[in-house]
């Protein structure tokens, strides 16, 4: 029996994704790291051509609500996000080690992310709203801020005030109809 979680792709559902840092370590605790994560997310969004409906970056985990990508699937998207962020963060961490410390750490021994991620298919407007509220209230419930608009590492301000953020929200492209025999 497989220990891998079952993933349901191809139905054009939204995917509510939760991914934790390795052993809940606060790899995203600093504003600079959260900004870096959002930069990586936006790069991957453009590369795989998917819509980000919502997000929140917490000190030791992230939540995303995304549409299925045009290129690849949500697993490939998460692999690219996790690898892109981890490589940049670990490179920065290793640069700060002094020569004597380098001998203490095995190359590749550091982990930033848990191996897997949680993926919940969202197919109703009600569930979509529920997941967005959950994400946007997360920093408040954790006591990081008093109001959701005070946490700049979520999509809340985009919804509440129409402000553009580091990640483009709800950038649904126009439908492209493929007709056999016609040049693109």
Mean pLDDT of the chain: 87
**In contact, 13 and 122? CB cutoff 8 Å:** yes
Query: Does residue 7 lie in a domain region?
Result: no
At 175 the pLDDT is 45
At 98 the pLDDT is 55
Query: Does residue 63 lie in a domain region?
Result: yes
Give the 3-state secondary structure of residue 30.
coil
Measure the CA–CA gap between 82 and 100, rounded to whole angstroms. 29
Query: Does residue 184 lie in a domain region?
Result: no
Measure the CA angle with vertex 7, ends 35 and 132; round to 5°. 45
**In contact, 60 and 49? CB cutoff 8 Å:** no
Helices (H), 5-145: 31-48, 74-96, 99-102, 125-141
**How deeply is 9 buried, as exposed, middle or buried, from its count of CB atoms within 10 A (0-12, 13-18, 19+)?**
middle
Q: Mean per-residue pLDDT for 82-100?
A: 77
Range of the domain at 64: 14-161
Query: Does residue 51 lie in a domain region?
Result: yes
Query: Does residue 183 lie in a domain region?
Result: no
33: its two tokens: 């790291």
Phi first, then psi: give them for residue 29, nearest 5 degrees: -75, -30
Query: Does residue 177 lie in a domain region?
Result: no
Higher pLDDT, 177 or 7: 7
The H helix count followed by the E strand count for the chain is 5, 4
Query: Does residue 30 lie in a domain region?
Result: yes
Measure the CA–CA gap between 42 and 36, rounded to whole angstroms. 10
Query: Does residue 4 lie in a domain region?
Result: no
Measure the CA–CA gap between 66 and 52, rounded to whole angstroms. 5
Measure the CA–CA gap between 36 and 57, rounded to whole angstroms. 11
32-79 pLDDT, tens per residue?
A: 999 999 999 999 999 999 999 999 999 999 999 999 999 989 999 999
The CATH number linked to 75 is: 3.30.70.1290
Q: What's the total number of domains in the chain?
A: 1
């Amino acid at each position: 029996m497989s220990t891998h979680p079952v993933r349901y792709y191809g139905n054009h559902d939204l995917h509510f994704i939760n991914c934790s840092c390795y052993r809940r370590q606060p790899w995203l605790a600093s504003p600079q790291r959260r900004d870096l994560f959002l930069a990586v997310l936006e790069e991957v969004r453009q590369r795989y051509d998917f819509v980000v409906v919502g997000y929140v970056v917490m000190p030791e985990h992230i939540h995303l609500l995304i549409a299925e990508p045009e290129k690849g699937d949500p697993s490939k998207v998460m692999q690219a996000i996790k690898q892109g962020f981890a490589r940049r963060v670990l490179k920065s961490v290793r640069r700060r080690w002094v020569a004597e410390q380098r001998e203490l750490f095995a190359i590749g021994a550091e982990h930033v992310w848990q191996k897997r991620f949680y993926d919940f298919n969202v197919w109703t407007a009600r569930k979509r709203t529920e997941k967005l509220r959950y994400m946007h209230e997360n920093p408040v419930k954790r006591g990081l801020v008093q109001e959701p608009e005070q946490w700049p590492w979520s999509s809340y301000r985009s919804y509440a005030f129409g402000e553009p953020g580091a990640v483009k929200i709800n950038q649904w492209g126009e439908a492209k109809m493929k007709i056999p025999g016609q040049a693109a």
